[in-house]
Amino acid sequence: MAREKAYCQELRKSGEWVHIWRCVGQYANISVFDVADNEALHRILWNLPLFPYMSIEVTPLAQHPSDLLVGEEVA
């Protein structure tokens, strides 16, 4: 657990793992990743210590054109 927590915190600090929420009443999470491509996401997920025991569903998202931050660098 300590290894997974440290890895997740590293990804949060780098900005790749933007959000993580626990699903109430379930042993499940909902996460938002901000990565360059599928390969980067694949690398992140494969390096999760519990990956072999996980069931993962991926839904690609894109920035909405009405977002006030479109085109701005987020620090």
DSSP letter string, 44-63: HHHTSTTGGG----------
- The predicted model scores a pTM of 0.71
Report the distance separating Cα 45 and Cα 28, nearest Å.
15
What is the mean pLDDT of the segment spanning 1-21?
Answer: 90
Mean pLDDT score across all residues of the chain? 86
Interval 38-65: pLDDT, tens: 999 999 999 988 888 889 898 888 777 7
